[in-house]
Chains A and B, each alone.
Chain A
């Protein structure tokens, strides 16, 4: 009968796929674990009217080995290790690229210039924080580069005071951080 033959064939294919998923185990262990498997599978296939309901052979093999108290599939463990290697490789490549980039004379010059301009960044940082404060306190009207116009002289004086205070804090903070970064033992900022 053609149907029975095709079922038999797909049962064999399934059983073989299950064995293939167990190849990391000792051969005699696989034989013990899958001895008689075809007969069992064939009987079930006859009940189900085919092998479609069997699921994935790999999942079947995993269930088989787990319930038999055998170690997890080596391929799964190897796959995880492979992913880890791949990730580490990417990180290493990115780090190498970064090192090469910063090693060029141009990049060194840019870095040196950026470091020399550090106080400018501190002032800019303070100004940005001031803008946020000013927006929060006085709203959009105060969103000028420096406190000018709008409002009385007293109000503007207050804004200047706030701007200067925040910039000073930012600069002092930057100097403190700079001292720590440079690893100096004496540091004027506490």
Chain B
């Protein structure tokens, strides 16, 4: 199964979870996602997601100047972001439990399930 399709559906939640642990700048967040096992995640996808979550009011930003190079833009989670993350976590738990039960119940069900349906956004 193509995991990049699945990733699209959960990237918002993954990014929120990483920022929830600790504030971070773009590439730092990419690295933490990759270190967690999401190795296929694209830089630009993460930066775009950060920008979208910020525009949606789930993240706050601040700039940290650097003495020997370009400034870094840090992202931190706010109360709205924490509420969004809690909602997404609960949806994900239910969804993954449902799919796991379905897949566990019969191998045939797994092969007939379209990959996009799992990664699709609500």
**Is B70 a contact of A38 with CB atoms below 8 Å?**
yes
Determine the residue in chain B with the shortest Cβ distance to A18: B44
Task: Mark each residue of chain B from 7 to 23: 1 if its CB lies under 8 Å from any CB of chain A, else 0.
Answer: 00001000000000000
Residues of the A chain whose Cβ atoms lie less than 8 Å from the Cβ of B44 = 60-61, 63-64, 67
| Interface residue count on the B side (C-beta < 8 Å) | 24
CA of A60 to CA of B52, assembled, Å: 16
CA of A35 to CA of B25, assembled, Å: 11
Chain A proximity of B41: nearest CB distance (Å): 10
Point out the residue from A8, A42, A43, A68 that lies within 8 Å of B51, measured CB to CB.
A68
Determine the residue in chain B with the shortest Cβ distance to A35: B73
Point out the residue from B26, B48, B49 that lies within 8 Å of A36, measured CB to CB.
B26
The reply to whether the CB of B42 lies closer than 8 angstroms to some CB of chain A is yes
Residues of the B chain whose Cβ atoms lie less than 8 Å from the Cβ of A75 = none
**Is A64 a contact of B48 with CB atoms below 8 Å?**
yes
Residues of the A chain whose Cβ atoms lie less than 8 Å from the Cβ of B30 = 40, 44
**Is A40 a contact of B25 with CB atoms below 8 Å?**
yes
Residues of the A chain whose Cβ atoms lie less than 8 Å from the Cβ of B43 = 40, 44, 60
Chain B proximity of A13: nearest CB distance (Å): 14
**Is A63 a contact of B26 with CB atoms below 8 Å?**
no
Task: Mark each residue of chain A from 56 to 83: 1 if its CB lies under 8 Å from any CB of chain B, else 0.
Answer: 0000110111111110000000000000
**Is B47 a contact of A39 with CB atoms below 8 Å?**
no
**Is A33 a contact of B70 with CB atoms below 8 Å?**
no
The reply to whether the CB of A32 lies closer than 8 angstroms to some CB of chain B is yes
Contact flag A37-B47 (CB < 8 Å), given A63-B42, A67-B11, A69-B52: yes
| Interface residue count on the A side (C-beta < 8 Å) | 23
Chain A proximity of B46: nearest CB distance (Å): 8
Contact flag A67-B25 (CB < 8 Å), given A32-B51, A36-B73, A39-B69: no
Counting chain B CB atoms within 10 Å of each CB, the highest count among A8, A60, A68, A69 belongs to: A68
Residues of the B chain whose Cβ atoms lie less than 8 Å from the Cβ of A65 = 48
Determine the residue in chain B with the shortest Cβ distance to A15: B70
Determine the residue in chain A with the shortest Cβ distance to B49: A67
**Is B70 a contact of A39 with CB atoms below 8 Å?**
yes
Given A36-B63, A65-B48, 17 additional A-B pairs, CB 8 A: A32-B54, A33-B51, A36-B70, A37-B47, A38-B70, A39-B25, A39-B73, A40-B72, A41-B27, A60-B44, A63-B44, A64-B47, A64-B48, A67-B45, A67-B46, A67-B48, A68-B49
B interface, CB within 8 angstroms of A: 11, 25-27, 30, 42-49, 51-52, 54-55, 63, 66, 69-73
5 A-B pairs closest in CB distance: A67-B48, A36-B73, A68-B48, A63-B44, A38-B70
